[in-house]
Amino acid sequence: MAEPSISTECKPGVGQESAGKGGERIVRTAPEGGPLVDVMGGAARWQINVHDHGFVALIDAMPRLIPAGTTADSAIVQAARVSYGAGTKKVSEDRGLTRYLLRHRHTTPFEMVEFKFHCAMPIFVARQWIRHRTANVNEYSGRYSVMTDRFYRPSAENVRKQSTVNRQGGEEPIDLSTAREFLDYLDACEANYKTYLSLSERGVARELARVGLPQNIYTEWYWKCDLHNILRFLSLRMDAHAQQEIQDYARAMHDLIAPIVPVTMEAFKDYEMDSVRLTRLEIEALRAGKATIETDNKREQAEWEAKRKRLGFGS
């Protein structure tokens, strides 16, 4: 990628200068050094629908324009070279540098890339999503506007049983008759929407009328975040321990940005998503060729067993 520099030596007709009123402040522009392309191919929106009424839509990116033949990963490398010096700038070396940065948790260059999304999700998903505090968010206001009658409903086959190993999770589908009972229960909750509308129309403040609505009603927001913190979000929310419904949104977000920052997302898969982190006890067990670690904690032991399987040891 050509490194644009601010300089007074731009050729006439390529770079431009403009002076302030008194001529005291001069803005100098530099040519990029080649044609620029839009990372979203000129589209206003890239949208992936999630569940029945949800979606994740990418609506803007920074950098939005990049030199032809590069990817938005180049903004990461460009920033990193402030600390590492210009050095060589071949595409293969850019890839190596990006991977090095991610592997060594040199994270700030990844904050130079940002993505803005428009998303719609049920409130119980939004409750988990909003915990990621480093994003900038603006949400639909149920005080200002009437909530729309869109509700999340899993299919009967997707109603999960309480997990026996993870107190926070669900696992395989529950029997069909209980699943149907669960869906009837959702019907009953959603029936309150009519009462909500009627009370709003009769003058109850929308900010109060809404408090009887169920958590599966949809909300929407604009959500902007830098790539470093998006990776953190994806790492936590694409993980099998996260609730299935938020995993589905995280995957959609992943799939939208992957073509724009392919080098980073490949490194993220290699060094984060598909990697295994080992504790001191686990390393000691590995070195001693033992199947168990030195702990009385059953959960920690089970986690080691799961890691052993991923590493190709054990049953």
Ligand X SMILES: Cc1cc2nc3c(=O)[nH]c(=O)nc-3n(C[C@H](O)[C@H](O)[C@H](O)COP(=O)(O)OP(=O)(O)OC[C@H]3O[C@@H](n4cnc5c(N)ncnc54)[C@H](O)[C@@H]3O)c2cc1C
133, 167, 277, 287: residue in contact with ligand X (rule CB under 6 A): 133
Q: How far apart are the first and last CA of the chain?
A: 49
30, 236, 258, 281: residue in contact with ligand X (rule CB under 6 A): 236
SS3 content of the chain, % helix, strand, coil (to 5): 40, 20, 40
133 has catalytic annotation? no
Give the residue closest to ligand X by C-beta: 133
126, 242, 256, 265: residue in contact with ligand X (rule CB under 6 A): 242
29, 107, 200, 229: residue in contact with ligand X (rule CB under 6 A): 229
Q: Which residue has the tokens 């009627």?
A: 198
Q: Is 232 a residue that touches ligand X (CB under 6 A)? A: yes
Stretch touching ligand X by CB under 6 A, among 23-31, 130-138, 212-220, 274-282: 130-138
Q: Is 134 a residue that touches ligand X (CB under 6 A)? A: yes
Annotate 236-251 with b (16+ C-beta within 10 A) or e (fewer).
ebbeeebeebbbbbbb
241, 269, 299, 310: residue in contact with ligand X (rule CB under 6 A): 241
Residue 274, helix vs strand vs coil? coil
Q: Across the strands, what pairs with 161? A: none
Which C-beta is closer to ligand X: that of 148 or that of 229?
A: 229
Q: Is 45 a residue that touches ligand X (CB under 6 A)? A: no
Of residues 202, 237, 280, 308, which has the active-site annotation?
237
Based on its alpha-carbon atoms, the radius of gyration of the chain, rounded to whole angstroms, reads 25
Per-residue binding string, ligand X, 173-212, x by CB under 6 A, is ----------------------------------------
Residue 37 CB, nearest distance to ligand X (Å)? 31
Residue 55 host element (H or E)? strand 54-62
Q: Is 167 a residue that touches ligand X (CB under 6 A)? A: no
CB 30 within 8 A of CB 5: yes
314 Ramachandran zone, left/alpha/beta (phi>0; psi -120 to 50): left
How far, in Å, CA of 117 to CA of 88, rounded? 34
- Name the residues annotated as catalytic: 237
Residues forming the site for ligand X (CB under 6 A): 131-134, 168, 229, 232, 236, 241-242
